[in-house]
Chain A
Amino acid sequence: MLSIVIFLPLAAAALLALPRLGARAATWIWIAATAADLALVVAMWAGYGGGTAYETRLRWIPSVGAGYHVGVDGLSLPLIAMTSLLFLLCAVYSLRETHRPRAYAALFLFLQTVCLGVFAALDLLLFFVFFDLAIVGMYFVIVGWGHGDRARSGLKFFLYTFLGSLALLLGFIGLYLAAEPHTFDMADLIANPPPAGAPVLLAVGVGLAVKTPVVPVHTWLPPAHTDAPAAGSAILAGVLLKLGTYGLARIAVPMLPGQWRAYAWVVIVIGVLSVLYGALVALAQENLKRLIAYTSVNHMGYIVLALGAAGLSGGRAARELAVSGAVTQMVSHGLITGALFLISGVLWDRAGSYQIGKYGGIAGKAPVLSGLTAMAAFASLGLPGFSGFIAEFQIFTGVIGAGAAVAGAVSLTGILITAALLLRMLHRAFLGEPGELTGRVGDLRPHESAAIAPLLALSLVIGIAPRWLLDLIEPAAQAVVTLAGR
């Protein structure tokens, strides 16, 4: 069933290659395929009973111990669900895409397959195959449908993240060679962590850090986001960034527990740096998309911080709380940032600019758009009642409880700065006197509302009643902490 979930979008993409298919039909096939995929994921969630479920294990390259091994657990299932939802809503958002819609739909369906594949993979080589293909897919989205200096941004994105992925591959080979018997299978590597040295953690860590991204290897992110189309940015921020942090939780922590504990402080420092630097640089942005991109650096910093705390020696409950918060934050950030990028896409569609200073008083002309933006901004800054609060509260409690009180306290200022910059953005673009481009901004069209509102509604549901989600995440978080403590 899991394999069907992974490859259904790809099959739909192949269907789109049929000749004489109209643009509208292509978009509807896209929406139908993603909706069917989401329905399957929901069914999987309903039938999930704990542990690693829906496992498939086939031989692929047996001579190097690599196989097609997929499965889900409490770590990957929430992310798979978030991915399916975000891709469905991006399809809805792109209902009126006029520029080569068939290829656009096929590319997004391809991306969906590879993103789901990364989260479901239980084999390092399979993980890498999907991880690398995600870069290729996103590159074509940026250069094919982006705007501005898209060729340059796309190239920078490709080169930078490809460098990361090759570092990751070298790290995987290091894990493979250190394991006895040699294997790429994650389940086997987690059961018997190989005695690999610090260079292996460095290679894996650099590879995933570029993808996450953390300071100082984040510089590919702002241009890639700014020049990508709105749906591409939403997927890039919502799903692709999670590949990095998910890899940390799935590979780095359980497979290199000793090294992870030894270098936990390095990870924490990098996390704190990302939190503060991302927030401060976002504060200075005039370009709405760059601003959201830098808040992503800030938000991903919390996750890195929490995963670093999992390697400390403080209270076990606190460490579990931190990891649980990290996973919740991955889901929450996907929902909220996805919504924010789709909103910025609406502004670009209407007025062709991301300059906050050129807008003003949008609230008067577009009440629904402004209402949803305000909601997304509050959710993003961690207001109680939204998913971001649940995640960040767990992270801070966990980090401080695990023994990194200073790091936790310093990072709290990140929340303050984020609140300031998001409120400032709201204030300048949506309230006050009309700006030079405000006249062009009309309110949301039905398909845009239908794409943005569910993301925020879900964030609200998680914020108010998170139990259904945490019941899934907490056992997985306990497992990660147990594995890290070996």
Chain B
Amino acid sequence: MSPLALLPELLILAGAVAGLVTGLFVARDRQRVVAWTNGVALAGAAAATTMNPETMAFDGYVVDRVTNVTRLTVALATILVICLAAGRARGDTRESELYTLVALAALGTITMAGAGDLLVLVAAYLLASIPAYALAGFAKDAPGTEAALKYYLMGAFLGVLMLAGVTIAYGSSGATAYPETRAPAVAAVLLLAGLLFKAGGVPAHFWVPDVAEGASRPVAAFVTTVPKIGALAALYRLASGVFDEPALLAVVAAATMTLGNLAAFHQDNVRRLLAYSTVSQAGYLLVPVAVAGRTDLAEPALLFYLAAYAITNLGAFAVVATAGTDTLADYAGLARRSPWTAFALVVCLLGLVGTPPTAVFAGKLLMFAAAWDGGYAWLAVLAAANTVASVFYYLRWIRPVFAQEGGAGESRTGAVALMAAAGSLVLGIAAGVVLLIA
């Protein structure tokens, strides 16, 4: 085993620690340097992943395609979040802690994806969760505190259930490393509890809208996007080896996409709307997990959809952060105020629908094909029906953007939103190249 194989993780960790220490000694108005430290460390992690995509497995940790894609996606998504946060946190009393917590949560997410042992998974779960609880209540205001409390109580409760699942799996198979572990059905359900919480899947999704609404906008973007990546990668790993419950996962996927969509229908707060939309997206993402091991398309479908979803969802939240308002009605006339922001919003929302040529389209296509090929054609049909239903609430948001009324206000253009929108288009058009490499 070579420690170089863990270079991306080590870089992020070093960046977080260095950032924290630097933050202690740097004047308050120059704390931006911590953002740079963490950003460079994350960029280094992404670069190390692309330079050295070797695959190997050692005790408790697996470096393979799933881990590498997760590393890359999480690192790039977290850089976008830090860019988004840096513009707003300037001069805050705890600015450096914000970046450090984000980087540590990202590290936990990557570790979840790479975990090859149930105990490593639990540790990674905690590393991904605890910084996120702190982030949710970071602003110390009433909505943030409520969100953090809800998030924490739910995470702690479901984490304990997951730990019980680990115990049962260990008791029944005498091992916690994935290749030797076979979890019985009850342990599978308990393990799902914790991972569905991180993924924001039904029935562990109740924290999603409250955190998305109560936390600051960059944090909302982070917690609804990044932890999902690691949780779904971990679920995929469990579903292809540790337990074999395709029917259960298919039902969870169906419930998640449907309930998320239904709840999003009449939201007038765009952050809650996006929060429920991320729940429904988690449902689509669970489809390839359900057919894991049954078709060759499951893995590319999951990984590509995860990357596509991350960039598109971040773009939508970045628009909200740029526009600076959460009320749907305030988006009236956005196209005349800030045409580029409106363009980014339309690309991201239609992207979440899965309109070609955005990245999520290619992801959805692979997901439909994987479901059909894996023997779950009904799930593909249900996902298609849900996609149509989701158009309704995305259009509720898009239409006022082009309305005549409400044109007044200042023009704001968000670089992060535009970058994410462009990234979604490029990733969609270059899907072939990406799939070949990955």
Q: Do A and B come from one complex?
A: yes
Tell me which residues across on chain B come within 8 A of A129, comparing CB atoms.
Answer: 356-357, 361
Q: Given contacts A159-B392, A173-B368, is CB(A61)–CB(B350) below 8 Å? A: no
Judged by a CB distance under 8 angstroms, whether B17 is at the interface is: no
With A and B bound together, what is the CA distance between A129 and B362 in angstroms?
Answer: 10
Tell me which residues across on chain B come within 8 A of A132, comparing CB atoms.
Answer: 355-356, 361
Closest-CB distance, B348 to chain A (whole angstroms): 14
Judged by a CB distance under 8 angstroms, whether A280 is at the interface is: no
Q: Given contacts A155-B395, A166-B388, is CB(A64)–CB(B366) below 8 Å? A: yes
Number of residue pairs A-B, CB distance < 8 angstroms: 76
B387 touches A166 (CB 8 A): yes
Judged by a CB distance under 8 angstroms, whether A35 is at the interface is: no
Q: Which of A158-189 contact B (CB under 8 A)?
A: 158-159, 162-163, 166-167, 169-170, 173-174, 176-177
- With beta carbons under 8 angstroms apart, the residue of A59, A61, A158, A169 that contacts B395 is A158
Q: Given contacts A61-B431, A136-B355, is CB(A177)–CB(B365) below 8 Å? A: no
With A and B bound together, what is the CA distance between A290 and B319 in angstroms?
Answer: 39
Cβ-closest chain B residue relative to A131:
B356
B368 touches A169 (CB 8 A): yes
B372 touches A173 (CB 8 A): yes
Q: Given contacts A136-B350, A144-B402, A177-B369, is CB(A170)–CB(B436) below 8 Å? A: no
With A and B bound together, what is the CA distance between A173 and B367 in angstroms?
Answer: 10
B368 touches A170 (CB 8 A): yes
A61 touches B432 (CB 8 A): yes
Closest-CB distance, A235 to chain B (whole angstroms): 19
Cβ-closest chain B residue relative to A174:
B372
Cβ-closest chain A residue relative to B394:
A158
B435 touches A61 (CB 8 A): yes
B355 touches A63 (CB 8 A): no
B402 touches A173 (CB 8 A): no
Q: Which of B350-374 contact A (CB under 8 A)?
A: 350, 353, 355-357, 361-362, 365-366, 368-369, 372-373
Would you give the 0/1 interface string for A122-138, flagging 1 where the beta carbon is closer than 8 Å to chain B?
A: 00010011001100100
Closest-CB distance, A165 to chain B (whole angstroms): 9
A155 touches B436 (CB 8 A): no
Judged by a CB distance under 8 angstroms, whether A62 is at the interface is: yes
Number of interface residues of A (CB under 8 A): 33
Cβ-closest chain A residue relative to B396:
A155
With A and B bound together, what is the CA distance between A167 and B384 in angstroms?
Answer: 7
Number of interface residues of B (CB under 8 A): 30
B369 touches A64 (CB 8 A): yes
Q: Which of B305-354 contact A (CB under 8 A)?
A: 350, 353
Q: Given contacts A62-B436, A159-B388, is CB(A133)–CB(B402) below 8 Å? A: no
Tell me which residues across on chain B come within 8 A of A128, comparing CB atoms.
Answer: 356
With A and B bound together, what is the CA distance between A177 and B374 in angstroms?
Answer: 11
With A and B bound together, what is the CA distance between A78 and B28 in angstroms?
Answer: 69
- With beta carbons under 8 angstroms apart, the residue of A63, A140, A176, A177 that contacts B432 is A63
Closest-CB distance, B408 to chain A (whole angstroms): 18
Q: Given contacts A159-B391, A159-B392, A162-B388, is CB(A133)–CB(B356) below 8 Å? A: yes
Judged by a CB distance under 8 angstroms, whether B47 is at the interface is: no
Tell me which residues across on chain A come within 8 A of B395, comparing CB atoms.
Answer: 139, 155, 158
Judged by a CB distance under 8 angstroms, whether B380 is at the interface is: yes
Closest-CB distance, B244 to chain A (whole angstroms): 23
A63 touches B384 (CB 8 A): no
Would you give the 0/1 interface string for B372-389, flagging 1 where the beta carbon is closer than 8 Å to chain A?
A: 110001001100110110
B356 touches A143 (CB 8 A): no
With A and B bound together, what is the CA distance between A61 and B377 in angstroms?
Answer: 23
Return 9 A-B CB contacts under 8 Å, by A number: A60-B432, A133-B357, A136-B350, A163-B385, A163-B388, A166-B387, A169-B368, A170-B380, A177-B373
With A63-B435, A170-B368 already in contact, 15 other A-B pairs whose C-beta atoms are closer than 8 Å:
A59-B432, A61-B435, A63-B300, A64-B369, A129-B356, A140-B402, A143-B399, A151-B399, A158-B395, A159-B391, A162-B387, A162-B388, A166-B388, A169-B384, A174-B372
